[in-house]
Structure 1
């Protein structure tokens, strides 16, 4: 596994959801804050995103927006004013058919130069991810509340391909779509975060993963967290001296290599307790602890509960 994959896997729970929505005329819908992340893709037309506590964002055809921390927001055909916000319909009612729709047409990737369309007509892909906020990797925590990825010629080709495939699956209801759609929605999250990282002018984790020393050390730790890592062995994997590794890793990541390893092992253990039925002894071996007792002691120190109670609460959805 790599850092981004692990960062997403550590917090993602359940199945993502998505739907395709077409609207005409004047419209306005509200999505309440939620424990997770959401996204919108404008396939046709334009609209406005009005996040709680943030500035309005104008969205055009082909634009993608990720609400990484579940910020409540309004989507509307026009900028915010008191009247707009008052008429906002809850998204669940709105997407169920509150607003008039055009007959479906074959789904296509949003054109770079969309043809003229009737005023205020829009077509969107909307989706949500359920996330466990108790163990957020710092890479995910660093994402801004609103990640706006404008449609530009030649930009983010993987993201555009994923949008095209998802639009087709949601529009055509082909056999196997119940498996294909969640997989494509998960893939979309990876591509959205990749695109943010590639274009981020500031940010700790884009710089971390762009640094050859820190990136090499992280790749080694995430590939085999159970290995008997020492600072000497990790420095060899990164191709630098112990002092260089310790200095650069700590300066960029904010904790020493071995402190990060301990944190990641316990975070990985929590993921295994949540997502598998492996006995505690198996979990301990997979994350680099010699005995279940050693893992239980470290886990309680990190999370304030025992592995067994943590698993029980995860099973109950708490």
Structure 2
């Protein structure tokens, strides 16, 4: 098993969940600092990331944001907007939807969260930065973009087989995000994730 396959195995501590979040200004959603990693993709409009790790980060359509386990964060239309706490569905459903009504411009975000095992964390997860931001760029990471399109379609029009299809797509989304980030580290100092690229003899865009 290669390094990303190891991470996928470590990820399977609990059921993931995914959904489309629709918000109208002013809005803000606070995600807790728990054992979950989150991936957000802006499908419409825009927002900003607010976290303790630095200045707010502006996100536009197509941008992908990954937050590592243990790092709480907030998504909002702008700093200072009213906040609500994000809570997944209590029935354990894979699909969790969130709608925040308002009078302003609309933003739509694809949100996915994964639970990791607290007692046996994968050592490479500690190498991840608190936040990975992959800006939308034409021609970059086509497999990641294709996975996002497939997930967005299933969540927009749930039908027979949607949950069975979403489960592997959620795994694929995480792996493609991590692979994209590894690729973007190429040329940096050979440590951590940047050193985890595959070779023919060892344990991957």
Task: Pick closer, same or farther for the CA change 1:203–1:70 going to 2, 3 Å.
Answer: farther
Structure with the bigger percentage of helix:
1
Residue by residue, what CA displacement relative to the aligned partner does 1:54-84 show, whole Å, maximum 9, x if unpaired? 3211100000000022411111111x2xx43
Residue by residue, what CA displacement relative to the aligned partner does 1:214-242 show, whole Å, maximum 9, x if unpaired? x62339xxxxxxxxxxxxxxxxxxxxxxx
Q: Is the 8 A contact 1:77 1:120 kept in 2?
A: no
Partner residue, 1:276: none
2:84 is equivalent to residue 99 of structure 1: no
Residue by residue, what CA displacement relative to the aligned partner does 1:166-201 show, whole Å, maximum 9, x if unpaired? 001101012101111121111100000000100023
Flag structure 2 segments of 5+ consecutive residues without an equivalent: 89-96
Deviation, structure 1 residue 10: 2.4
Residue by residue, what CA displacement relative to the aligned partner does 1:219-275 show, whole Å, maximum 9, x if unpaired? 9xxxxxxxxxxxxxxxxxxxxxxxxxxxxxxxxxxxxxxxxxxxxxxxxxxxxxxxx
Give the Cα separation in 2 of the matches to 1:211 and 1:2.
7
Partner residue, 1:222: none
Partner residue, 1:209: 196
How many residues were matched structurally? 194
Aligned match for 1:165, one of 139, 142, 150: 150
Identify which range, 29-38 or 51-60, moves more after superposition. 51-60
2:127 is equivalent to residue 127 of structure 1: no
Partner residue, 2:56: 56
Aligned match for 2:182, one of 197, 200, 204: 197
Flag structure 1 segments of 5+ consecutive residues without an equivalent: 102-118, 220-318
Aligned match for 1:137, one of 122, 147, 150: 122
Structure of larger gyration radius:
1
Structure with the bigger percentage of strand:
2
Q: Please give the TM-score of this superposition, normalised by the length of structure 1.
A: 0.56
CA-based RMSD of the aligned residues comes to: 2.3
Q: Is the 8 A contact 2:11 2:114 kept in 1?
A: no
Deviation, structure 1 residue 133: 3.0
Aligned match for 2:140, one of 155, 171, 189: 155
Provide runs of 4+ in structure 1 moved above 4 Å.
none
Task: Pick closer, same or farther for the CA change 1:54–1:12 going to 2, 3 Å.
Answer: farther
SS of equivalent residue, structure 1 residue 34: coil
Deviation, structure 1 residue 208: 2.8
Task: Pick closer, same or farther for the CA change 1:144–1:203 going to 2, 3 Å.
Answer: farther
Deviation, structure 1 residue 53: 3.8
Give the Cα separation in 1 of the matches to 2:46 and 2:9.
33
